[in-house]
């Protein structure tokens, strides 16, 4: 047992089981109202996951999230890298970013919906906004920490500034950028769910809150489990990717937490 418990992946599994047991206990023994037993909620999972409509909804949510995330990377990484290398660029963007930072991005939904409608465009835009900030911030920190001498040597060998940014600063800052991406991933998921709760039209958040309105409490809890598993799986998958890309760099933190 002692050896099994130290295998990678086993402690989180035990943690999940413990959570389920605690949930079952709270519902059955303590009888907390509004909390169906875990077994009842989990019994809904096959129905949800075999219903083509809800699968389409989940796929549509993930598609929006992927597009918003990808667009944010394309825009945010170059801005962050340039901020780290030039004081003027940093001074240009910093106050603006600081004042946008505490605005809840999903709260922009009602306003953006007026302009772009309740379809994919506004939800993708909100995800884009939510992901951009942490990615810019971490790219900025990463590129600021790049050793000057490497850049001087490259310049002395005739490499031009744009090439230096992408061939030296980008790889050197990659570990830090990926920290930002991981925060961004968590954020993308949060913004995705929230935007769908506000614009109830399709998606995971829509299923969740419609079930709440229709008092299908088992489905509510089953959807919470689905979203939670989604978050955890995406995080683990990203960690794999990170190890593959920057296995040479020491991991900065085991777990990264983001802001909405």
Partner 1 sequence: MSVRLAAMRDVLVGLIPIALILGLWQALTASGVAPPSLLPPPGAVFARLIQQLGSLTYLQHAATTLLRLFAGFGIAVALGVALAVAAIGSKAVESALMPLVRVLAPVPKVALYPAFILTLGFEDASKIALVVADAVFPILLATYQGMSAVEPKLAWVAQAVGVTRARCVFTVVLPAALPSVLTGCRIGLVISCIVVFLAEMITSTDGLGHLLVRAARNFQTVDMFVPLITISLLGLLLNAGFNALRKRLLAGFPEEK
* Residue indicated by tokens 């605005």: 103
The distance of closest approach from Cβ of residue 38 to partner 1 in the complex, given in angstroms and rounded to an integer, is 12
**Crossing angle, helix 170-198 and helix 109-116, to 10 degrees?**
80
**Is residue 43 at the binding interface for partner 1, with CB under 8 A as the rule?**
no
Residues counted in the chain: 260
Q: Which of residues 3-22 bind partner 1 (CB under 8 A)?
A: 5, 11-12, 14-16, 18-19
What's the burial of 82, exposed, middle or buried (CB within 10 Å: 0-12/13-18/19+)?
buried
Q: Choose between 92 and 166: whose C-beta lies nearer to partner 1.
A: 92
DSSP 3-68: TGGGSTTHHHHHHHHHHHHHHHHHHHTS--TT---HHHHHHTHHHHHH-HHHHHHHHHHHHHHHHH
Site membership for partner 1, residue 101 (CB under 8 A): yes
Binding status of residue 87 toward partner 1 by CB under 8 A: yes
> Interface with partner 1 includes 139 (CB under 8 A)?
no
Q: Does 93 bind partner 1 (CB under 8 A)?
A: yes
Q: Does 259 bind partner 1 (CB under 8 A)?
A: yes
Rank residues 16 and 70 by Cβ distance to partner 1 and give the closer one.
16
CB 105 within 8 A of CB 225: no
| Residue nearer to partner 1 on the CB measure, 55 or 100 | 100
Q: How many CA atoms lie within 13 A of 260 on its CB side?
A: 12
Q: Is 62 in the site for partner 1 (CB under 8 A)?
A: no
Half-sphere exposure of 30 (CA within 13 A, CB side): 13
- The conformation of residue 119, written as its DSSP 8-state character, comes to S
Largest CA distance in the chain: 73
What single-letter DSSP state applies at residue 257? -
Q: Exactly one of 58, 72, 82, 106 binds partner 1 (CB under 8 A); which one? A: 106
Would you say 91 or 243 has its CB closer to partner 1?
A: 91
Q: Does 78 bind partner 1 (CB under 8 A)?
A: no
Nearer to partner 1, 115 or 248 (CB): 115
Select 157 or 257, whichever has its Cβ closest to partner 1: 257
- Taking the C-alpha atoms of residue 185 and residue 134, their distance in angstroms, rounded to an integer, is 10
Nearer to partner 1, 160 or 210 (CB): 210
Q: To the nearest whole angstrom, how small is the minimum distance from the Cβ of residue 163 to partner 1?
A: 26
Decide if residue 249 touches partner 1 (CB under 8 A). no
Please tell me the distance from the alpha carbon of residue 101 to that of residue 259, in angstroms, as a whole number.
9
The site for partner 1 (CB under 8 A) is made up of 5, 11-12, 14-16, 18-19, 32-35, 87-88, 91-96, 98-104, 106-108, 110-111, 113-115, 186, 189-190, 193-194, 197-198, 205, 208-209, 211-212, 217, 220-221, 223-224, 227-228, 231-232, 234-235, 253-255, 257, 259-260
């Amino acid at each position: 047992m002692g050896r099994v418990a130290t295998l990678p992946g086993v402690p989180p599994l035990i943690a999940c089981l413990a959570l389920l047991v605690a949930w079952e206990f709270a519902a059955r023994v303590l009888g907390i109202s509004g909390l169906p037993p875990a077994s009842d909620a989990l019994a809904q999972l096959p129905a949800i996951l075999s219903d083509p409509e809800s699968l389409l909804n989940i796929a549509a949510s993930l598609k929006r999230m992927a597009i918003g995330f990808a667009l944010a990377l394309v825009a945010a990484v170059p801005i962050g890298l340039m901020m780290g290398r030039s004081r003027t660029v940093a001074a240009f963007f910093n106050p603006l970013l600081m004042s946008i930072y505490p605005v809840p991005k999903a709260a922009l939904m009602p306003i953006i919906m007026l302009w772009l409608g309740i379809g994919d465009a506004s939800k993708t835009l909100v995800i884009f906004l939510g992901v951009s900030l942490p990615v810019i911030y971490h790219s900025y920190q990463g590129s600021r920490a790049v050793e000057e001498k490497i850049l001087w040597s490259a310049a002395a060998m005739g490499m031009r500034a744009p090439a230096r940014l992408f061939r030296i600063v980008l790889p050197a800052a990659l570990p830090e950028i990926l920290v930002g991406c991981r925060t961004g991933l968590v954020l993308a998921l949060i913004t995705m769910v929230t935007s769908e709760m506000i614009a109830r039209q399709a998606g995971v958040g829509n299923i969740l809150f419609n079930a709440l309105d229709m008092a299908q409490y088992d489905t509510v809890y089953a959807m919470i489990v689905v979203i939670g598993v989604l978050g955890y799986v995406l995080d683990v998958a990203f960690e794999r990717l990170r190890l593959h890309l920057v296995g040479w760099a020491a991991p900065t933190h085991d777990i990264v937490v983001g802001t909405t």
